[in-house]
Every structure is written in C-alpha cells, then in structure tokens.
Structure 1
Amino acid sequence: MTRPGPRVAVVGGGLSGLVAAYQLSLDLPGAHITVLEESAAPGGALATTDFPSGPMELGAEAFICRRPEAAGLIDELGLTDRLEHPGTLGPAILTGGRLEPMPTGTLMGLPSDAGTLAGVLDPEDVARAAREPEIPFEWPPGADVSLGDLVAERFGPAVVRRLVDPMLGGVYAARSAGLGLRQVVPGLAEALDKGAPSLTEATRRLTARRATGPVFATLNGGYRVLVEALGRASGAEIATGSRCTAIRRDGPGYAVDVTGAGGTRSVGADLVVVAVPVPRALPLLTAIGGAEAAAGSLSGIRTASSAVVALEVDRALDLPQRSGVLVATDEPVPYKAMTFTSRKWPHLDDRPGHLVRVSFGRLDDDEVLDSGDEALTRMAVAGLADVCGSDPIVMHSRVRRWQDSLAEIGPDHDATIAGIRGELAQRVPGLELVGGATEGVGVPACIGSARAAARRLAAQWQD
C-alpha cells in the first residue's frame, strides 16, 4: 500500500517558510502543506507596498545575483524575464557632515589600497591604514573572529566607523564588532586560509578577481512577484492571521496550536518547519520536550529591530547623483542609510516623483525606534533635506517596522547553528529551524537554508 503524504506545518510565511514549503512540495508530491502566517499577508521581510505611482519595497530591496540560490529559484519559477539590475551610480558616505564617494577598491569597506581613503578618513587615519601590510599577522586556517575587532586592530577604528560599519549596517543592523568574519565575508576568510599575509593583500586578491557585470538584482513588480509565485508553485494552504502559540508532541508527530480570528485550533503535522525570528522561535522550541538545549543555544543569538520610511517626493528636489547614502557610525544623525531608489534602479525612474528609502535601527540602539511613525517620517524628511540642501515636497510616505527580525551573526555562528541542528535532529526528529538566524541574513542565504532544511525533512520521511 502506498504511504500517504505527510502533513507539514510551516510556522511563518516569510521567504524562508515559503521556500521550504515549495521545496517540500517538490520532494514530497503527496504532502499536505499548511503555512501559518501571523500577519495579514505572506512575505515577511519581502514587503511590497503600492504607492499610487506603482510598487515600492518596504523590506528587502535586492539580492546578490552572483550567488546561485536566488537566481536559480527565480529561473525555476519562470521569473527570469522580470529581473532588473541597478544602474552605474555608487553610494556616498556621510561623514563629517559631508558626502564622500565610496572609495574604490574596497570590499565591504575594507581597503585594498589605503591611498583611496583620503576623502573619507583624516590623514593620520589614512597613514595608519597604509601601514597594515607591515604589521606582523598570524592567521590560523579555519579561524573565525570578530570582523570589526580585526579591522580596528589592523587598519584602525576609523576604517570601522566610516567604512565597514556603514557598509554592513543596512543589512545586519549590527556593528561589525559583533559579526563573524567567516560568515559575513567568507571570501576574505578563504584568502587568509590560503596564506594571504595581510588584510590588505587578502582584500586586493578578492577585488582583483571580481566578476564583471551587475552584482545585485531585483524583480520588476517588486518582491511581491516572487512571494506570489512561491505560493502558487508550492500548492500550500497559506493561512494568514494565524499565530502559532505552541508546538506539542502528538504521538510520532506534532500538534501545532494556532490562534486566529476564529479562535484557537490545533493543526496536526508529521513534519514541522519553524521559520520565524529568534524571539518568536524560542518559546516554541523551549516548550517541546527534548529541544531545551537547542533553545538555550539559540537564545545566545541577539537580534535587532529596524524600520524603513519609504517616500515619494516631488522631482523639484535635486537628489545627489548617487545610489544612496551610507552613514558613518560617528555621524550625529538618527538614520543609518538612505537609498535613492529611483536613482539606483533605472526601471523605477519613470515615476512622477523621486523614490527614496530611509532606514533606521541598530543593535543596542532602539531609542530612535521608540518614536512613532509620524516622528520617524519627520526624521527621514529632515535627513533628506539636509543631504539635498532643500526641503522635499512629500507626495506619499509609508513606514514599516521590523521587530527583532535581524540576527547578529557572530564569530563561530556556523558551529552554533550546527550544534542546534544536531540537537533537533537527535531529540526532535521531523522539525527544522530555518531563517535569517541560521545561514545568515539576505535573500540567497535564506533560500539556501530553507531548501536544505526541506530536503533533510523529506529524506527523513522517505527513510
């Protein structure tokens, strides 16, 4: 007799949850998959809103197209003809109250030639960075350390404040001192493993072999296009307005308690994917017998909140000829980055107004985020006015907040996650944890993590 397909509960309908559902539908064609999403719509950090002039992203804006995970999924879903790439404009650094072009030959803010840093750093800081190759350097192959601490030690703290932290802050919402080198810049760690004698030389080797062509891509119509395609292709039942309050063992499987508009119900599942941010995942895992140790390890991963203010402003405003502004961490402004969306993406430059995104929120710095939406919008508009030298006329605006959604990916993060997965596999079989706190932040990383977890679950079911 043919074994019936499993019942699958996916807790969280963001990118990771939707990709896991899609992969499970491929690997287990008979599965009945239910995606439980607390909010009113799936997508999570992929959040496309509608301005009167067209779609605008309030969450993730783009992905690295040189990594295979996102490009491969988009091709599978038949969306390749929707790909769009940014123009040629680069970002500026806001430092010392002025905008300076991002220096050439840098990698995540690390310099391959200190001579290019003169506009961003003071002369004495440039001189210190230039001495980096002369400082004795020992690197044990396979090691992982704090990226920010290593850069400060080798190049000086000014390189961290004015280059590395601004580059990484928009993605990780954490200062580089709390980020692991191997997870955040794996190519640099590999170059050091292979014997690069200094950070300057390791960076030079990587920048010298950069592939030509665009680095980033997005989808015409917004990430909503990807979210909808994943929902259709997975064939999953997507239950919005459904908050998972508990996961309990139920015989060989699980019972997932869900609260929604119709009250509380229990969803039976043979396989479970937990695809929610760390603070939401922790109580769910802690309550499952056998998952206490895994939850304890997960609790050590800190998370940050953030907010995006999206604006459409009258084209009378003279935007800088830059893709956006990255803010040095010693600059006295409340926002951490500003994207001139319609400058950066040529396919969006046909709107009646300029599109601009202003980002707020860093780890351990939530004071700004305590402000209401109107106050955040005023800060965004004031910041844009300072950068442009005149007050913008705001045509449309939206605020979107992301509570505890960005994980601090610290040194030896891979080992921590491997330990968590090992505990879950041994003590809570049939349950997987995915999302930005596992393989790292970013669309390709989340896709890769979710597909790998789904394949492990499918293999368990088929054994």
Structure 2
Amino acid sequence: MQQPWRVAVVGGGIAGLAAALRLRDRAPAGTEIVLLEQSTRLGGKLRTGEFAGLPVERGAEAFLTRDPAGGDSAALALTRRVGLAGELVHPAVGLAGLARDGRLVPMPGGTLIGVPAEPASVAGLARVVAGRDVDDGRPLLGPGTDVAVGELVRRRYGDEVVEQLVDPMLGGVYAGRADTLSLATTIPALATAARTEHTLAAAVRVALATRPPADGTPVFTSLAGGLGSLVGAVRDALLASGGPVTVEVRTNAAVRELAPLADGWRLVTGPTPTAEHVDVDAVVLAVPARPAARLLSGVAPAVAGHVGALDYASVALISLALPAPALPELSGFLVPATEGTLTKAATFFSTKWAHLRAPDKLVVVRVSVGRYGDEQLLQRDDEDLTAAAHAELARLTGVELAAPVQAQVQRWGGSLPQYRPGHGDRVTSARAGLRSAGHRLALAGAAYDGIGIPVCVRSGEDAADQILTNLQEVRR
C-alpha cells in the first residue's frame, strides 16, 4: 500500500498560507501538511493592530480587486474561499496627491506608474524633453530584454519624469528607485508593450489598454476588521476538523537546515540542543530570498546563487492619531526623493476608509519612511521618527497640526524586495534548476513573483499545484 504524502510549507506569510490551503483543498486523501513559521505569529506583513480604537494596518493595507484578465484577483478569491466576502470594504476617496516644491498637488491621470501616455498631461509637474521619443523603426526593447525603469523613461522622456513622477510611485510601492528596479517585474505590461511598440508613448497607451475595462468595480479592497482577519480565517480553514487532508501549523519553528533523503527531505527545526527532524516528501519554500538561499546552499548551490542575489529595502510606518485636523480630501500622497524629506508617502486612513472614522474627532494618518539605500535614516529612535513625520506632514499639507494623541512606529527591516533587471530570468533559472535536478521543492512569495497580496497568493497556489503534479508523477 502506498504511504500517504507528507508536504512541508516553510513560511507562514500569505504565500505560505495560500500554498497550504491549496494543498488542503486539492491533495489526495491521507495527505499530511505541516506549516512551519519561525516567528510567533502567522501572516508576515499582513498585520492589523488596534490604534486609536480602530483596526489599523501595520503592514499591507489593501489588495487589488481584479487580476490582469479582469476576473477576481487571487486575493479576492481567497477571501471568498474563507468566508469573508461580507467583510469587503473599498476606499471612500481614491484621489492621491504628489508633493511638489513643498506643497501637495493632484496626482496626474493617464499615467502608468507615473509614466504618461501623453507627455502634455504632466505639464507643470515634470518637463518632458522634446524630440527624444521618436520612432526609429524598431521596438523599444528586444525580445526578452529587461532594463531598469529609469533607464527607459530617462532615455525617452528625460530626467524630470523619472524623478518627479515615476520614482515616487515606485518608492511608494517598493521603497525602491526607478534607476535600479526591473521594468519587466515592476511594470510588466509596459515591458511587454515595449517589445512591440516603437515609442514610449505608444507603449504606455498599449499597456493601459490591457487593463480590465472600468465597470465601477473598485480597484482596491480591504476587510472591515483589517487584513489580519484574512490571516485568521485562512488559519481556521486549514485547521478545520474533518476532511481527507490533515494540517499541522507550528509557530516558533525556524527551519535551520534542509537535507535530502532517499525519497524526500529532512527539515531540521529548533535550536541545536533540542533540534527536531521533520521528514517530508516535498517542500514549498515560502520565505524571503536570503533564508531560502541559505537552506538551498547545500542541496542546490546554483539555485541558491540565483535566489540570494535579491536585495531588500527597509521601511518604517508611523501611525498618528491627530485631533481633528482639516486635511486635504485625498487618500494620501507620495513624495519624490528630490523634496529632501524623510517621508516618502502618507495615507489618510480616516479619509480613505469610511469604516475607520476615529472616535472623539480623531484623524488617523500613516506616514511611510525609508527608501532603498537610505537605511541609515531609520536608525533614529521611535520618538525622533515620529516627530520628524509629524513636522513633515504639517509642512506638506499646509495644515497646523496639534501634537498626536497617540503614535506608533512599526519597523519592517529588510522587507521589500528590490527587483533588479533580469530578476525574472534569475527566478526562471532557479525554478528550472530545481525541476531538472528532480527536487520536489517549489519557491513561492514576493521574493520570486512580485509584491502585492494577489501576486503572493497566486505564487503560493502555483507552488502547491507544482508540488502536487510532481508527487503524482512519482506515483505513476
């Protein structure tokens, strides 16, 4: 009689949780799943905490409602799968601002991550160098070519578009810089269009046209109780009694070593004096690049080299509860690095999310600080960071702000992947290396497939599907 499969998922962030749930839903009867998370809690950067009497995010704030093809995003589908459809909420205000010369102006429309389809649409905010974006008879990029976002946009539109528009947009999402981030990974629709179109303006128009048509569906979605409720609901679904597949969830279970067995893997967890061996048939590695590379270094060194090349940025999120200031009617704003501020972005939570109206006429604002390469600025203590964020918020909004009633600093060290050009090729090579060696190992998460909750959910589900396919081939 065949023995039931045993599969380990290493990492309890949203990618690992999605992988484990997909395995629970689709694995054959008798399969055992063990989820191993090194910290005391599941969810990774999905963390909701109480602040000023409200559920306020300490990490990711929302997720995209739709996927590129126009259907439900993987995150929305997961939310429905775990019974949270009735908790969905959408932004009340979608208009964002942009800091320009020390004041806020509306973010221009008709751009793709700050890259305009019509250069005239950003007049007054960024000067587009005339005569550069000409049709020279060939596509902007060759087949399979990847470049830094800034390299392409500077070449075609000039420096100001990069520094005043594109850089703050990428900084808000990745805490990175346009001159180092991969076009193919961060703006894939534009990279695809650039391989057929001869001008940047045409490529942006084509990329914008591939977006799902506007039908009134909100772009972003969150949950009334915060995104932490999604983590809890997935955990509950994993541990629900009954069903043909069993799941064990372990926290405080750091995996220190990955060693091959004759027909599977041995994971070594816990401190050396009390180390525990977890023997499994297959493994989903849903951890950041550096721990993944460390685990892979002894069994697949070439793969570890590809994975370990990824660098990360650190950020801090400063939540402020302010006594009823008259803030602009914006969802928040972005700040170009040229403004010289510590602040790179801010979200007006009480304006953006109608369900987060604070009691006692308080307004909740979250300020984001930290850009790639500026980690030394985050060495300040919490009090200093809070004071700087408060002062810059007052200056940029032009509003006299009273001292915060409550403040909180959430630090995320080495948390945001910095996808350099060629990232996709490195990930493809890493996954191909694992397949060619016959390893029943799969990689999942932001380190490989991109930032964003839907991307991470899809990455985890795809990794689970790959493991199931591999195991079924072994049994044939």
Q: TM-score, normalised by structure 2?
A: 0.90
State the partner residue of 2:290: 279
Shift of residue 158 of structure 1?
0.9
Contact 1:23 1:454 in 2 (8 A): yes
Look up the SS of the partner of 2:205 in the other structure.
helix
CA distance in 1 between counterparts of 2:267 and 2:405 reads 44
% of aligned pairs identical? 38
Q: Residue 269 of structure 1: CA displacement?
A: 1.9
* Letter of the 1:97 counterpart: G
Deviations along 1:178-218, whole A, 9 cap, x unmatched? 2222222222233333x433111222344467522321111
Residues 18/304 of structure 1: CA separation in 2 closer, same or farther (3 Å cut): same
The AA in structure 2 aligned to 1:11 is: V
Q: Deviations over 1:199-257 (max 9, x none)?
A: 11222344467522321111111111111111122233222222221112233222212
TM superposition shift of 1:351? 4.2
> Could you tell me how far 1:118 is from its partner in structure 2?
2.8
Which of 340, 344, 348 does residue 340 from structure 1 map onto?
A: 348
Report SS of the residue matched to 2:104. Answer: strand
Deviates more, 1:4-13 or 1:214-223: 4-13
Instruction: Give the alignment's TM-score, normalised by structure 1.
Output: 0.92
For 1:216, the aligned partner's letter is F
Alignment of 1:228 onto 2:227: no
In 2: Cα distance, 1:285 partner to 1:261 partner: 19
Gap change, CA 1:231 and 1:157, over 3 Å in 2: same
Judged with a 3 Å threshold, the aligned counterparts in structure 2 of structure 1 residues 45 and 428 are, in CA distance, closer, same or farther, namely farther
CA distance in 1, matches of 2:301, 2:465: 24
> CA 1:87–1:298 in 2, change beyond 3 Å: closer, same or farther?
same
Unmatched 5+ stretches in structure 1: none
Matches within 5 A, 1:127-138: 128=129, 131-134=131-134, 136=136, 138=138
Q: Is the 8 A contact 1:244 1:258 kept in 2?
A: yes
1:361 corresponds to 2:356: no
Query: Could you tell me whether the CA contact under 8 Å between 2:47 and 2:58 is conserved in 1?
Result: yes
Residue of structure 2 aligned with 1:152, choices 151, 154, 160: 154
| 1:405 shift after superposition | 2.0
Residue 448 of structure 2: SS of its match in structure 1? coil
Please say if 1:433 is aligned against 2:443: yes
Counterpart Cα distance in 1 of 2:272 and 2:172 = 35
Equivalent AA in structure 2 for residue 254 of structure 1:
W
Task: For 1:153 and 1:368, locate their aligned partners in 2 and report how far apart those are by CA, in whole Å.
Answer: 31
Q: Is residue 197 of structure 1 aligned with residue 208 of structure 2?
A: no
Superposition RMSD in Å: 2.1
**Which amino acid is 2:229 matched to?**
V
Task: Tell me the equivalent position of 1:24.
Answer: 23
Contact 2:15 2:457 in 1 (8 A): yes
**Aligned in 2, Cα 1:428/1:407: closer, same or farther, shift over 3 Å?**
farther
Give CA-to-partner distance per residue, 1:347-397, whole Å, 9 cap, x none. Answer: 223544212111122222211122222222222222222223323332222
Within 5 A, what are the aligned runs for 1:82-231?
Answer: 82-121=87-126, 125-126=127-128, 128=129, 131-134=131-134, 136=136, 138-139=138-139, 140-193=142-195, 195-207=196-208, 210=211, 211-212=213-214, 213=216, 214-231=218-235
Whichever residue aligns with residue 85 of structure 1, its letter is H
Q: Classify 1:40/1:451 alpha carbon distance in 2 versus 1 (closer, same or farther; 3 Å).
A: same
- For 1:238-317, list aligned pairs within 5 A: 238-259=249-270, 263-287=274-298, 289=299, 291-315=300-324, 317=325
Partner-residue secondary structure (3-state), 2:41: coil
Name 1:36's counterpart in structure 2: 36
Instruction: Evaluate the alpha carbon distance shift between residue 165 and residue 65 of structure 1 in structure 2; reply closer, same or farther with a 3 A threshold.
Output: same
